[in-house]
Structure 1
Amino acid sequence: MNDAAINDTRKAELLSTTVEHIDIKSFDARPIIDAMGKMSFTSRDLARATGIYNQMLEDPDCTIFLVIAGSTSAGGCMDAYAELVRSGMVDAVVATGASIVDMDFFEGLGHKHYQALEVPDDDTLRSLLIDRIYDTYIDEEQLQDCDHTIYKIANALEPRPYSSRAFIREMGKYLVEHGKKENSLVKLAYEHDVPIFCPAFVDSSAGFGLVKHQVDCMKAGRPYMVLDAIADFRELTDIKIKAGTSGLLMIGGGVPKNFIQDTVVCAEILGHDDVEVHKYAVQITVADVRDGACSSSTLQEAASWGKVNTGIEQMVFAEAGSVIPLLASDAYHRGHWKTRAKRAWGKLFD
């Protein structure tokens, strides 16, 4: 057997077990959340956070923002987030480019994430074109297909500025026509007019495709499409102004967390002195606050900046993949979403 065949066999062995995304409809977490509410420590924090999320769903005036940072989508929560969009349990999404492109759009194209049943030397993984996220694998060759698809979408667009929301909408449209996975967040968001914002969009596989689009257009002397980060901030702030009451369900921190919280301050700068701070807020994170990092600033701290109401907030210090299934399943089975009006904020920009 030659070296190429040996490598192919080894790669197939390492990529033999796919990550199966959890189905929040398949089990009812209400009894365990109720029991956790009678406990202490993180269990009680999670029960209170779940209660706050249910309050958001019950409030007929509340627009809910799902805010995602980190790798929970690759780790098995992808279908949970998709269900929140399908069932009208969130109205807009703010996320990292990796969550939207390298994870969701990637699987929408028919590719998979894989469980690492063993973790060999990372140089070995590199030689096999396997990328690693802790104990999860991605086939680099499949990821490059994602890069090239982004390139193809960009080439087909009119050469002008686009917010990340507008470009991601084109990605959703592409998946409707060419996708291979029904339960894609990007696809469902397009179908339900739920806008997705990625304030650091090029920090993902989208970046490679968009750079290639720009370079190729420059070489050919043609104009090219560009991403307008200012439009991102303006559009998201516009939703906040028109929404009034709002709630945040935040997984992780980083740029997405700060971006959505800053819409309150931005609205004030634009002369909307009556804009409401985010009334409800839940953050699930493992980040430490002692280094002063913005990613891990508590929601109480955010109140000092005039971003979040201190009355209805909860920090949950836990790995999100272990608690999001419980929170989302509880909210799904309590059913407040069934009578909730869908905002369809995506239509605001048509």
Structure 2
Amino acid sequence: MKQAEEQYQTLYKLQPEPLTTPEIKGYDFNQGVDFDALLNSYANFGLQATQLNKAIDIINKMIHWRLGPNEENQDPNTRCTIFLGYTSNMVSSGNREIIRYLAQHKMIDAIVTTAGAIEEDLMKCLSTFHKGDWQANDKEIRLKAICRIGNIYVPAANYGKLEDWLLPVFQEMYKEQKEKSFIWSPSSMIKRFGERINDERSIYYWCAKNDIPVYCPALTDGAIGDMMFHFNYKQDGLICDILQDVVKLNKKAMYSKKSGLVILGGGVVKHHIMNANIWRNGADLAVFINTGIEYDGSDAGAKPSEGITWGKLRVDAEYVKVFSEATLVFPLVVAQTFAKHFQEAKRV
């Protein structure tokens, strides 16, 4: 084999050079169980572990640049705005509590999400979701009035509870629209939902309390849209103007000194955030976590570098895509970034 390799190198005039990049090496549990050391070892683990380590590093850079002007040696002209995007299944799952933590402690500056992520957060304040089975007999559980999201069960009665809660809120908003000539946008509706739910378990309670805008360009695409239809069917005229939010989100990106993106999933949440960053010639830092592949031309599957061609990421941006289902890795990412920084700041 050695002789064959030498002949090959001679034939093709190869000039072998020693590799200078780090050695691939895993964690040695003979050292004990040290989760910080384990996750730090991911840097040279290879495959998606190394991608995850890079994601942690990039988010820590966002946090560094997000420090306020009162922090030592921090230039306010370089402050990073952090945009968080996620699809509804993140709120269906336990990632809801992770996102709530970020909003509770003002660790993010804006959210873009889907209708399901709004209504399910509210529903979880009114009732419960339960562990289910990927292999469930869907005809049988339909007859038991259970809806399924992967291996998560949602009692169909939850939607009735949401409707009973939501319709009076719509009535209140409709009255303000008529009496004060106030036109609602998805973000102002969501802020009102957060105020009225008045439950510290809610993501949007904390967003309303901490003045974190939540943009949902497809707010009608779910039970909330069904209930808007129900409301307007009986009392026509409640208006939701999405253009207001396009302007607000685009301006938030435009005026950001630095822009950092953390996006779980794809579709409208990913594109809406990235499209807003076109107005500043692209984001500076970006982390994408999803399972999409590029070969169908989908938004989720697209390589991050494709965004450079559209001006959604800067030519010199730092970015990474982690090919993973986000419930597996997002809690680990938050533990090594936002939560660690928060705990360290409390100790100072």
User: Normalized against structure 2, the TM-score is what?
Assistant: 0.80
Q: Which amino acid aligns with 2:125?
A: G
Q: Is the Cα–Cα contact under 8 Å of residues 194 and 208 in structure 2 kept in the other structure?
A: yes
Which amino acid is 1:203 matched to? D
1:295 to 295, 300, 305: 300
Q: Closer, same or farther in 2 for the Cα pair 1:214/1:290, shift >3 Å?
A: same
Residue in structure 2 matched with residue 196 of structure 1 by the alignment: 214
Residues 238-257 of structure 1 aligned to structure 2 (within 5 Å): 238-257=251-270
Structure 1 partner of 2:125: 108
1:326 matched to 2:342: no
Mapped to 2, the partners of 1:235 and 1:151 lie a distance apart of 27
1:66 is aligned to 2:84: yes
Counterparts of 1:121-200 in structure 2, within 5 Å, are 121-157=137-173, 158-159=176-177, 160-176=182-198, 179=199, 182-200=200-218
Partner of 1:261: 274
Structure with max Cα Rg: 2
The verdict on how the C-alpha distance between 1:84 and 1:125 changes in structure 2, with shifts beyond 3 A counting, is same
- SS in structure 1 of the partner of residue 225 of structure 2: helix
Hey, what does 1:284 align to over in structure 2?
289
- Greater alpha carbon shift after TM alignment, 119-128 vs 294-303: 119-128
Assess if the C-alpha contact under 8 Å between 1:64 and 1:92 holds in 2.
yes
Asked whether the 8 Å contact 1:87–1:337 carries over to 2, the reply is no
Displacement of 1:105: 1.4
Tell me if the contact between 1:69 and 1:252 (Cα under 8 Å) persists in the aligned partners.
Answer: yes
Partners of 1:337 and 1:170 in 2: how far apart?
Answer: 31
SS at match of 2:44: coil
**2:324 aligned with 1:308:** no
Gaps of 5+ in 2: 1-33, 67-78
Q: Is the 8 A contact 2:63 2:338 kept in 1?
A: no
Instruction: Tell me the CA shift for residue 117 of structure 1.
Output: 4.9
Q: CA deviation at 1:168?
A: 0.1
User: Which of 205, 210, 215 is matched with 2:223 structurally?
Assistant: 205
In the comparison of the two structures, how many residue pairs are matched? 295
Q: Which runs of 5+ in 1 are unaligned?
A: 1-27, 219-223, 268-274, 341-350
Are residues 1:226 and 2:239 paired? yes
> Percent of aligned pairs with the same residue?
23
Q: In 1, distance between residues paired with 2:308 and 2:139? A: 45
1:303 partner letter: I
TM-score in terms of structure 1 length: 0.79
The aligned residue for residue 18 of structure 2 is none
CA contact (8 A) 1:29 1:330 kept: no
SS of match in other structure, 2:283: coil
The aligned counterpart of 1:37 is 43
Residues 70 and 252 in structure 1, CA contact (< 8 A), matched pair in contact too: no
1:72 CA drift (Å): 2.2
Shift, 1:119, TM fit: 4.5
The secondary structure found in structure 1 opposite 2:305 is helix
Q: What is the rounded CA distance, in whole Å, between the counterparts of 1:83 and 1:29 in structure 2?
A: 21
Cα offsets for 1:218-271 (capped at 9, x unmatched): 3xxxxx321112112111112112223110000001101111111133x3xxxx
TM-fit CA distance, 1:291: 0.6
Q: Secondary structure at the match of 2:235?
A: helix
Rounded Cα–Cα distance in structure 2 between residues aligned with 1:233 and 1:114: 35
CA deviation string 1:315-344 (max 9, x = no partner): 00001000001000111343168769xxxx
3-state secondary structure, aligned to 2:294:
coil
